[in-house]
C-alpha cells in the first residue's frame, strides 16, 4: 500500500530465480521497487519494469518457505497507472461572496490538502483590484467545499479569474490523484461592494492657466462626458470659469487648461455636475456631484506692473577724472526687467535695457556724459507675467563743472605747440 491499493499476481520460477508480476485491470507498470531484506531479492532491472530477480538459489524450496518470505519483504512504490486509471479531482465552481472578501471553491469530489500544499498555490486576478491576489485557507479540507479569505476586497462588476499552480501532493483526492494546474478559470463574482471614484486633489499651476485633477483610481471620460461638467469659481477672476481637457484620460491624473488665467492668492473652488457615465472608474462607478471643493492655487500670476521703490542718481555729481561714466540705478517691488530712454515713451519703445536687471535691484553704466551738464532719463519695468509700467520713473541729475583746481591726469598724453594727442 503506497497511498493506493494495487492488485497484482506473482509467478515464481525457482529454477531461474525469477519472479514475474502482473497487474490486473489497470495495466499498471512498476516504476520503483526494492526489498527490505537485500539478502533475499535484488532490484533488477532498474527503473520501470514488470519483474524483479530473487537473490540466491531457491530451486526445490518449499513455496511456503524462504521464497515467500522474500516476497513478503518486497516493498513496491510509485507504480505508474495507465491513463484510464487516473481520475484527478476537478474544480467545479469558484464563487466570491457579496462582501467581496470570501472565496468558496467547490470540487467534484472530496479534496485534501496534501504534504505539498501551500496557500500560495492559489491566486486570483481581478480586472480592477489587480493581479496575483493572495488568498488564505479558512475551512473545508477533507470535503468537496473549501473556503478562503481574499487578501483584497473584490468589487461589484469586476471580471475575476483563478489560477492554481500547486506541486504534486498539493490538492488531491482520496486516491492521491492531484488537482491539475488551473490557468484563468472564470470566477463567479457576487460582490456587492461598489466603490465610486473620488477626486483627491485639484491644483492650479504657477502660471495660473493649468488645472490638474488627481483621482484615487484610474478614471475615464464616459459616453456622456463634456468639459462643461466642470467649472471653477475664483474670488477675483469670477465664477463658472470653463476648463478644457488636455490629457490623462484612462489614468489617475487629468490635465485641463483654464479659460481665464487665475491670479495669485485667489480663493478658487471647483464644481462637477456631470451625468451618469461622465467621469467613471473601470467598473462603471460614476464620480458624484462636487460643489465648491477647494482648489490648491499655486498661481503666481498677477496683473500689477512692477513699482519703482528707488532710483538714482538723485543729486549733482562731481566732474571727476571720468565724467563720462556714471551709474544709473533703480529698485522695484518685484522681479522685473528695466529699460530706459531719454524720452518718455512706452516700455516696448524704449531703446535701452539695464546692464544688470531681472531681479529687484537694477543698474546700468552710462557713457558719453560731460561735466557741467544735466541729464534726464525715463525708466520703465516689466514683470514675469508681462505686466509693464504704465508711466515712467524719472531720473534727473547733473554733473558739476570742472574745478580749476582739480588735478587732471595727463599721463600718456603727447603735447605740442597746438594741443595734445592721447
340 and 361 part of one domain: yes
264 and 292 part of one domain: yes
pLDDT of 128: 84
E-assigned strand segments in 114-249: 122-126, 130-133, 135-139, 143-150, 160-164, 171-172, 182-186, 188-189, 199-204, 210-221, 230-234, 238-241, 243-247
Query: Cα-flanking dihedrals φ and ψ of residue 72, to 5°?
Result: -60, -30
Domain end call among 237, 266, 297? 297
289 is a domain residue: yes
pLDDT of 29: 42
| Residue 280: Cβ within 10 Å count | 22
Say how many domains are in the chain.
Answer: 4
Domain end call among 189, 209, 244? 189
408 is a domain residue: no
124 is a domain residue: yes
Q: Which domain CATH number covers 271?
A: 2.60.40.1220
Q: Which domain CATH number covers 391?
A: 2.60.40
Domain containing residue 36: 8-84
302 is a domain residue: no
319 and 394 part of one domain: yes
Domain end call among 189, 224, 254? 189
70 and 27 part of one domain: yes
215 and 280 part of one domain: yes
406 is a domain residue: no
HEC states along 227-267?
HHHEEEEECCCEEEECEEEEECCCEEEEEEEECCCCCCCCC
pLDDT in tens, the chain (422 residues): 445 555 555 555 555 544 544 444 344 444 334 433 334 444 444 333 444 444 444 444 454 444 444 444 444 444 334 334 468 999 999 999 999 999 999 999 999 999 999 999 999 999 988 999 999 999 999 999 999 999 999 988 899 999 999 999 999 999 889 999 999 999 999 998 888 899 999 999 999 999 999 999 999 999 999 999 999 999 999 999 999 999 999 999 999 999 999 999 999 999 999 998 999 998 888 999 999 999 999 999 989 999 999 999 988 888 876 667 889 999 999 999 999 999 999 999 999 999 999 999 999 999 889 999 999 999 999 999 899 999 999 999 999 998 765 545 544 445 454 444 43
CA within 13 Å, CB half, 106: 7
412 is a domain residue: no
Q: Do the Cβ atoms of 217 and 196 come closer than 8 Å?
A: no
Amino acid at each position: 500500500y503506497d497511498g493506493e491499493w494495487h492488485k497484482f499476481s506473482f509467478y515464481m520460477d525457482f529454477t531461474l530465480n525469477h519472479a514475474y508480476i502482473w497487474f490486473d485491470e489497470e495495466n499498471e507498470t512498476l516504476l520503483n521497487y526494492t526489498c527490505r531484506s537485500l539478502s533475499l531479492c535484488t532490484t533488477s532491472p532498474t527503473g520501470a519494469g514488470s519483474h524483479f530477480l530473487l537473490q540466491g538459489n531457491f530451486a526445490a524450496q518449499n513455496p511456503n518457505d524462504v521464497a515467500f518470505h522474500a516476497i513478503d519483504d518486497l516493498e513496491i512504490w510509485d507504480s505508474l497507472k495507465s491513463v484510464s486509471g487516473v481520475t484527478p479531482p476537478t474544480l467545479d465552481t469558484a464563487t466570491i461572496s457579496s462582501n467581496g472578501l470570501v472565496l468558496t471553491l467547490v470540487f467534484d469530489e472530496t479534496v485534501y490538502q496534501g504534504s505539498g500544499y501551500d496557500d500560495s498555490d492559489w491566486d486570483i486576478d481581478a480586472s480592477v483590484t489587480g493581479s496575483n491576489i493572495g488568498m488564505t485557507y479558512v475551512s473545508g479540507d477533507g470535503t468537496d467545499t473549501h473556503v478562503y479569505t481574499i487578501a483584497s476586497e473584490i468589487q461589484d462588476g469586476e471580471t475575476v479569474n483563478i489560477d492554481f499552480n500547486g506541486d504534486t501532493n498539493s490538492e488531491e483526492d482520496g486516491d492521491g490523484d492531484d488537482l491539475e494546474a488551473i490557468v484563468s478559470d472564470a470566477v463567479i463574482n457576487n460582490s456587492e461592494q461598489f466603490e465610486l471614484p473620488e477626486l483627491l486633489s485639484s491644483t492650479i499651476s504657477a502660471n495660473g492657466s493649468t488645472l490638474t485633477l488627481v483621482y484615487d483610481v484610474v478614471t475615464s471620460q464616459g459616453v456622456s462626458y463634456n468639459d462643461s461638467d466642470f467649472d471653477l469659481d475664483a474670488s477675483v477672476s469670477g465664477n463658472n470659469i470653463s476648463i478644457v481637457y488636455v490629457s490623462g484620460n484612462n489614468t489617475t491624473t487629468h490635465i485641463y487648461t483654464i479659460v481665464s488665467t487665475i491670479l495669485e492668492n485667489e480663493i478658487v473652488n471647483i464644481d462637477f455636475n456631470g451625468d451618469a457615465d461622465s467621469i467613471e472608474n473601470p467598473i462603471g462607478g460614476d464620480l458624484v456631484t462636487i460643489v465648491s471643493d477647494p482648489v490648491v492655487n499655486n498661481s503666481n500670476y498677477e496683473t500689477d506692473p512692477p513699482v519703482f521703490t528707488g532710483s538714482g542718481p538723485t543729486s549733482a555729481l562731481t566732474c571727476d577724472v571720468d565724467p563720462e561714466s556714471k551709474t544709473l540705478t533703480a529698485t522695484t517691488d518685484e522681479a522685473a526687467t528695466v529699460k530706459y530712454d531719454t524720452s518718455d515713451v512706452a516700455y516696448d519703445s524704449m531703446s535701452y535695457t539695464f546692464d544688470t536687471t531681472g531681479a529687484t535691484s537694477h543698474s546700468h553704466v552710462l557713457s558719453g556724459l560731460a561735466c557741467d551738464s544735466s541729464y534726464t532719463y525715463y525708466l520703465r519695468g516689466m514683470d514675469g507675467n508681462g505686466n509693464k509700467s504704465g508711466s515712467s520713473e524719472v531720473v534727473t541729475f547733473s554733473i558739476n563743472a570742472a574745478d580749476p583746481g582739480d588735478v587732471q591726469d595727463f599721463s600718456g598724453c603727447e603735447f605740442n605747440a597746438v594741443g595734445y594727442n592721447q
